[in-house]
Structure 1
Amino acid sequence: MDTLSNVVQMLRLKARVFLYSNFCGNYAVETAGSGKATFHVVAEGECWLHMPELQEPVQLYEGDLIIFPHDAEHTLSNKSVFPSRDVPRNRYTSTPQGEYVSIICGDIDFMQSRWNPVLESLPSYLVLSRGGQHHTTELEALISFMIEETRAGLMGSDAVIDRFSDVLFIHVLRAYLAKERSQSSYLAALFDARIGPVIKAIHDAPENNWTVQSLAEQARMSRSAFAEYFHGLVGVSPIEYVTNWRMQVAYEQLSTSDRSTAQIAETCGYQSESSFSKAFKKHFGINPGAVRRNS
């Protein structure tokens, strides 16, 4: 399995569309506050994006996609001027009149969200406009399909749209990475010629007795140069990353499998169940047994 798929699978991505509505007249759409990553697709018409961090609002057009990886505060409205408090919030209509916009709203949850280097690598918002920097032919096709499926409202459409939302997010990551690989981030590290293979090796064999030296050999770098380069890209030391990944594997297996704690400890590179339990509690603040009881 490739490294990005490996990470996304571990995070247990689950996207859903929770609103498809028309807005007309003076309106304001505000959906922040869920604690989840959120996204909007402009299915028809135009609107304006307002955010506290933006010096000027951004105009969005039909087919545009915007994602807020960190649930940033934002408002969509019909005007470039921020809507006053007397403008209705989230009031949609089934029978629009005059100028209107149709918006698909969704969120993205990560069922295993105790450690999410993917989201940490993304900016507060991403606008993917048709013909824009991050847009691709595949993304355009996915967005068009989502719009048509949402409009059709056929039996099973909700399930289809939710699954396509999962796929959409992964394509967004691909598109973002294709343009932003030069930046120092976890996502950039996955595709780095030297660090990418190291991360894959850790993922493929968390049970190995990894040391900075053995990981540096994977990257064909000196120990000191590797440690500095790895930390600069990923944001943690190589051994911290090994520990983080082992703990994610352990948490996932405790949550979803019937393997014994001793077996999971061995899979994660620990020589004994007691040393594993101690490391797990230090990392998460709870014992392995508590995860299993709550699953």
Structure 2
Amino acid sequence: MLCGTFELGRHHALLLRALPEVVHLRTRGRDDYAGLHALLHTMRHESQQASPGGDAVIAHLSAALFTLVVRTLMDQGDLQQGLLALLMDARVGPALAAVIAAPAEPWTLERLAEVSRMSRASFARHFAELSPATPMDVVTALRMDLAARLLRETPRSIEQIGEACGYTSRAAFGQAFKRVHGTSPAAFRRQAG
């Protein structure tokens, strides 16, 4: 058994809400988990040694472990609702993939349904079976996740980031950002350092 904590930060709330509260993977006797076993073995070894760079190795292996756990949950079909369930769904997944690929596009329910080759009503009904959020709420959440990342990692202006996330005015972007993150884009950038 290996215990630890993943700290993703509040800007990754969309991903965290997509995961179950408790994840328990049983790997005994399953050859398809050989990579996971090897990763855990290496993490255990690094945590017991006082080798230079050990903390960096553990941090990177932890990211890989998190990815493998999410992949395993997806493979096992344990994600019945939320963002990952939507992305895995053959009917609505293409629409969300399109939003992720082009967040600045003027997405509407009609366009999302069109990308998924469904009627607007069928798309909305099927979406509701997989997510408590509306399609447009998910579009906004994806855009705001991107906005938070751009504010933290790039020197782009707030207007440029708003445009990259599909907003034509700084005011509209600021209102949406504050509604999701609880603070203005400028304050978020200052807090992120």
TM-score by length of 2: 0.88
Distance 1:266 1:176, change over 3 A: same
Distance 1:242 1:132, change over 3 A: farther
1:213-252 equivalences under 5 Å are: 213-252=110-149
1:184 and 2:120 are equivalent in the alignment: no
Q: Which residue matches 2:58?
A: 161
Contact kept, 8 Å, 2:14 with 2:141, in 1: the verdict is: no
Q: Which residue matches 2:108?
A: 211
Q: Which residue matches 1:106?
A: 4
Secondary structure of residue in 1 paired with 2:24: strand
Give the alignment partner of residue 126 of structure 1, picking from 6, 20, 23: 23
Distance 1:158 1:127, change over 3 A: same
Contact kept, 8 Å, 1:230 with 1:237, in 2: the verdict is: yes
Give the alignment partner of residue 136 of structure 1, picking from 26, 33, 37: 33
Q: Which residue matches 1:84?
A: none
Contact kept, 8 Å, 2:150 with 2:161, in 1: the verdict is: yes
Secondary structure of residue in 2 paired with 1:110: coil
Once residues 279 and 176 of structure 1 are traced to their aligned partners in structure 2, the CA distance between those partners, rounded to angstroms, is 31
Q: Give the C-alpha shift of residue 230 in structure 1.
A: 1.3
TM-score by length of 1: 0.59
Q: Give the C-alpha shift of residue 221 in structure 1.
A: 0.8
1:62-109 CA distance string (max 9 Å, x none):
xxxxxxxxxxxxxxxxxxxxxxxxxxxxxxxxxxxxxxxxxxx32100
Gaps of 5+ in 2: none
- Paired residues in the alignment total 192
Q: Give the C-alpha shift of residue 289 in structure 1.
A: 1.6
Give the alignment partner of residue 258 of structure 1, picking from 137, 155, 158: 155
Distance 1:151 1:290, change over 3 A: closer
Distance 1:182 1:146, change over 3 A: closer
In proportion to residue count, which structure has more strand? 1
Contact kept, 8 Å, 2:73 with 2:79, in 1: the verdict is: no
Once residues 201 and 226 of structure 1 are traced to their aligned partners in structure 2, the CA distance between those partners, rounded to angstroms, is 15
Contact kept, 8 Å, 1:265 with 1:272, in 2: the verdict is: yes
Q: Give the C-alpha shift of residue 197 in structure 1.
A: 1.6
Give the alignment partner of residue 168 of structure 2, picking from 252, 267, 271: 271
Identity %: 38
Q: Give the C-alpha shift of residue 280 in structure 1.
A: 2.3
Q: Give the C-alpha shift of residue 115 in structure 1.
A: 5.1
Q: Give the C-alpha shift of residue 260 in structure 1.
A: 0.9
Opposite residue 63 of structure 2, the aligned amino acid is D
Secondary structure of residue in 2 paired with 1:278: helix
Once residues 115 and 152 of structure 1 are traced to their aligned partners in structure 2, the CA distance between those partners, rounded to angstroms, is 31
Q: Which residue matches 1:60?
A: none
**Which has the higher Rg, Structure 1 or Structure 2?**
1
1:90-146 CA distance string (max 9 Å, x none):
xxxxxxxxxxxxxxx3210013x245233223333223333268x712111211222
Gaps of 5+ in 1: 1-39, 42-104
Q: Give the aligned CA root-mean-square deviation in angstroms.
A: 2.3
